[in-house]
């Protein structure tokens, strides 16, 4: 039986041998109370071995499922092992683990929050400026989502997010696959969970290539816009994360 603590950092990684060790080390330094799980999404390089060498737990997908599948494996692991909270930190070095403590404090201050999203657009000092095509897409998604969910959303594609048990339960059951972040905000809204954004620093990719290269950004835009509209019309699966409450109660939460 693996002994688990209360908090899990999930690092989705696809061919990130150049950055994954540094990411794991910076999580271990900045947030030592977190267990670290690297989801090696069918990498063809030595991402998994590097992660093990750095002392992380490694979940290896036999083949590449894509970012949505990689992160959902993290949610399933978090639920299976009874973690109270889970944070996603990308394996490419774009997220700053030193910001995890601030996300945790915000969730401690307001226990009714189920998801806290790190936004790079709420801070003036930007270490990273996304390419114009990508930024345009993000602002269009942000505009649409803010109207649909009735609260200001500035960075709907950020993967740097902290989740509590209710959100873990929801996403362990159902998590979007391609470019999941935007649809996940819709799901939180339609399942009456609560979210807020916080300003965080975002860095350039530390190596490798983004899943959204400039050539792909038009496909990305259309795909996510379609997902938003389908999200609006699709029937809501009756998934009440609340039914985890008995388990939570049993754990004295
Ligand atoms: N590109 C890509 N990244 C993946 C995949 N599975 C997991 N990831 C990881 O997901 C994280 C975010 O992906 P990335 O391409 O950086 O997306 P971006 O930051 O939104 O441009 C990175 O740590 C990737 O290594 C996949 O199938 N493709
Ligand atoms: Mg990235």
Torsion of CA 96, 68, 142, 213, to 10 degrees: 80
Q: How far apart are CA 231 and CA 226, in angstroms?
A: 8
**Probe target for ligand 1 pocket from 61, 67, 180, with the most ligand atoms within 8 Å of CB:** 67
Three-state DSSP class for 151?
Answer: coil
* Kind of pairing between the strands at 161-163 and 85-88: antiparallel
Residue 40 resides in a domain: yes
Ligand 1 atom having least distance to the Cα of 94: 19
- Indicate which CATH number applies to the domain containing 176: 3.90.550.10
Q: Which two tokens stand for residue 13?
A: 């990684």
Residue 1 resides in a domain: no
Q: Does residue 182 line the site of ligand 1, with CB under 6 A?
A: no
Residue 140 resides in a domain: yes
pTM of the shown model: 0.90
Residue 142 resides in a domain: yes
Q: Does residue 231 line the site of ligand 1, with CB under 6 A?
A: no
- Which domain, by its residues, includes 83? 7-251
Q: Does residue 70 line the site of ligand 1, with CB under 6 A?
A: yes
**Probe target for ligand 1 pocket from 9, 10, 11, 12, with the most ligand atoms within 8 Å of CB:** 12
pLDDT tens digits in sequence order for the chain, 253 residues long: 455 679 999 999 999 999 999 999 999 999 999 999 999 999 999 999 999 999 999 999 999 999 999 999 999 999 999 999 999 999 999 999 999 999 999 999 999 999 999 999 887 565 666 777 778 888 889 999 999 999 999 999 999 999 999 999 999 999 998 779 999 999 999 999 999 999 999 988 777 666 666 666 777 788 888 888 877 776 555 555 455 444 445 444 4
Residue 2 resides in a domain: no
Domain count, the chain: 1
* Backbone phi, psi, residue 140, to 5°: -65, -45
**Probe target for ligand 1 pocket from 92, 156, 200, 203, with the most ligand atoms within 8 Å of CB:** 92
Residue 138 resides in a domain: yes
Q: How far apart are CA 12 and CA 5, in angstroms?
A: 20
């Amino acid at each position: 039986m693996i002994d688990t603590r209360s908090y899990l950092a999930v690092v989705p990684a696809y061919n990130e041998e150049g950055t994954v060790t540094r990411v794991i080390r910076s999580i271990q330094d900045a947030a030592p109370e977190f267990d670290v799980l690297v989801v090696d999404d069918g990498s063809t390089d030595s991402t998994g071995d590097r992660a093990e060498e750095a002392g992380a737990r490694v979940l290896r997908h036999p083949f590449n499922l894509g970012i949505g599948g990689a992160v959902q494996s993290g949610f399933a692991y978090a639920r299976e092992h009874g973690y109270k909270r889970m944070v996603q930190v990308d394996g490419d070095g774009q997220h700053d683990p030193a910001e995890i403590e601030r996300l945790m404090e915000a969730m401690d201050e307001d226990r009714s929050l189920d998801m806290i999203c790190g936004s790079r657009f709420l801070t003036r000092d930007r270490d990273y400026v996304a390419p114009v095509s990508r930024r345009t897409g993000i602002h269009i998604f942000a505009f649409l989502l803010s109207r649909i969910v009735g609260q200001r959303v500035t960075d709907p594609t950020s993967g740097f997010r902290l989740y509590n048990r209710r959100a873990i339960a929801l996403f362990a059951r159902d998590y979007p696959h391609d470019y999941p972040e935007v649809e996940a905000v819709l799901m939180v809204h339609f399942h009456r969970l609560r979210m807020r954004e916080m300003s965080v620093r975002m860095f350039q990719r530390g190596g490798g290539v983004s899943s959204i290269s400039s050539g792909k950004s038009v496909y990305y835009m259309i795909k996510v816009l379609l997902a938003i509209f389908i999200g609006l019309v699709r029937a809501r699966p009756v998934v009440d994360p609340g039914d985890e409450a008995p388990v939570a109660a049993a754990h004295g939460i």
